Structure 1
Amino acid sequence: MPLQAVESQRLYRQIAEQLRGLITAGEFATGSRLPAERDLARQLGVSRPSVREALIALEVEGWVEVRVGSGVYIRPQVQGNGHARPSSGHAAGPAEWGPLELMRARELVEGEVAALAARHARKAQIATMAGALERMQEDADAGVVPREGDELFHEAIAQACGNEVLRDTVVGYWQARSGPLFARMSDHFENPPSWNAALVEHQAVLDAIREHDAQAARAAMHHHLQRAYTRYSASWRRANSS
């Protein structure tokens, strides 16, 4: 396959542009299945998560269809206006951040934010975190994806850390989650079991902050975001043939 190794800047976008070009050139026929994620990663010289994000971008733009348990297939191409315009490759804003890369950044930053919150959180701030967690539980029990409560929980921790730059950074992460790439990935991989696991992980973070145990709060937040990353990655491997 005529694929080329890509540079690291906005990696998933570069991969998507290569694959889009091959589709346009007829290298992949309509209805055909793309090579497995691991094969694409090997040929491109990149990580599997980067390939995964590129495929999600192509799905959002209408170039491919992801069939869970089967693979990624080329959709019919409509001449002229059948697809969203691809990114220009410049000035990536939060909505274009790769979801898995974003989660890795959150792990690094929010672990320290949780540790600071454990040191500085006041009773009222801890009560706000607890209220957000209760809202998450109520939504999950009602069969509603508890994204709003999830956001409120993490923002309450950031508010309690005592550093406005870190608070704004965490808010920016959540603004990025509203982008189409993260929304589509969430559609694929979020489900009741994943949210039940996340609720347990959130409770561990809250318990550590309530005890003002900075080390435990950092570890609990790291564990939560590592597990979230793994849930997304593991689900995609099942869907796109490992």
Structure 2
Amino acid sequence: MSTDHVLPKKAWEQVVDWVEQRILSGELVVGSHLPAERDLAVQVGVSRPAVREAVRTLQASGVVRSTVGAHGAGGTTIAGLPHQPLTRLLRLHVALANFPSADVTEVRVVLERLSCRLASVDASPEGITGMRELLERMDDDDLPLETFNDLDTDLHVAIARTAGNRLATDMTVAIRESMRMPILSALGVLQDWRAMRLMLRTQHRAIVEAISAHDGDRAADLVEEHIRAAYDRMTSLHVR
């Protein structure tokens, strides 16, 4: 006989489950109002403080938004779940080594190959101009390492946004942000930062030019080469 013992869920967790189940079933959608605190407590069979704790948890996750308004205009509604909560959660997972950097890199390759292919089809003149402006800013030899890395992140995110796939964009933002500190740590101990910087600039320009030329296959291959080259350089320094 199994000796495993499943602890009963706390009252606030029951409320979270109630909300999640109705989102998954389609009963609650973006903009839907949750029942009033008293009504929700009765429906779930918990106390009002448990409902308040659940709402705070859901707010922190970006699932709901609470507002105060006159004549019943306020309340708690289902939010659009922006990328910030996903970024925060993934950053913590990476920091705690729940996702090895090798695994994160493989997912980055898949996502950014997709983004480059889509961007090569859908890139607008404004989108290409924005990417080139980021490239020009990265050409400044006096940029602090942290600023260069932030612009590097902005470029990869700009490509994903140009691709027009919101899920790919949000995941790219989350993954890239989660890797910010490991990347900075690796770059900070490089013996020849100038050579690394030149390599990154050259690769970035080639990727953007391929997207501008609507050559999706080449852009996808170049971004994979770029990601793997940077990862190989970092892991050779034994920096996660």
Q: Please, what TM-score do these two structures have when normalized by structure 1?
A: 0.54
Q: Which has the higher contact order (CA 8 A, sep 6+)?
A: 1
* In the alignment, structure 1 residue 187 sits paired with structure 2 residue 206: no
Match of 1:163 in 2: 165
Match of 1:149 in 2: 151
List, as ranges, runs of 4+ consecutive aligned residues in structure 1 with deviation greater than 6 Å. Answer: none
Paired residues for 1:128-143 under 5 Å:
128-138=130-140, 141-142=141-142
CA distance, structure 2, for counterparts of residue 183 and residue 203 of structure 1: 21
Bigger radius of gyration among the two: 2
CA distance, structure 1, for counterparts of residue 150 and residue 184 of structure 2: 14
Identity of paired residues, percent? 23
Q: Please, what TM-score do these two structures have when normalized by structure 2?
A: 0.55
User: Relative to structure 1, is the Cα distance of residues 193 and 105 closer, same or farther in structure 2, using a 3 angstrom cutoff?
Assistant: same
1:212 to 192, 211, 214: 214
Deviation of the 1:143 alpha carbon: 5.2
| 8 Å Cα contact 1:94/1:175 also seen in 2 | no
Q: How many residues align?
A: 144
One-letter amino acid of the structure 1 residue matched with residue 159 of structure 2: I
- What runs of 5+ residues in structure 1 fail to find an aligned partner? 1-90
Counterpart secondary structure, 1:114: helix
| 8 Å Cα contact 1:95/1:175 also seen in 2 | no
Deviation of the 1:171 alpha carbon: 0.5
User: Relative to structure 1, is the Cα distance of residues 235 and 92 closer, same or farther in structure 2, using a 3 angstrom cutoff?
Assistant: closer
1:124 to 111, 123, 126: 126
Deviation of the 1:124 alpha carbon: 0.2
- What runs of 5+ residues in structure 2 fail to find an aligned partner? 1-90
Tell me the C-alpha RMSD between the 2 structures: 2.3
Match of 1:34 in 2: none
Counterpart secondary structure, 2:138: helix
CA distance, structure 1, for counterparts of residue 110 and residue 133 of structure 2: 25
1:160-186 Cα distance to aligned partner (Å, 9 max, x none): 00110000011001220234x444333
User: Relative to structure 1, is the Cα distance of residues 129 and 143 closer, same or farther in structure 2, using a 3 angstrom cutoff?
Assistant: closer
Deviation of the 1:198 alpha carbon: 0.8
Counterpart secondary structure, 1:212: coil
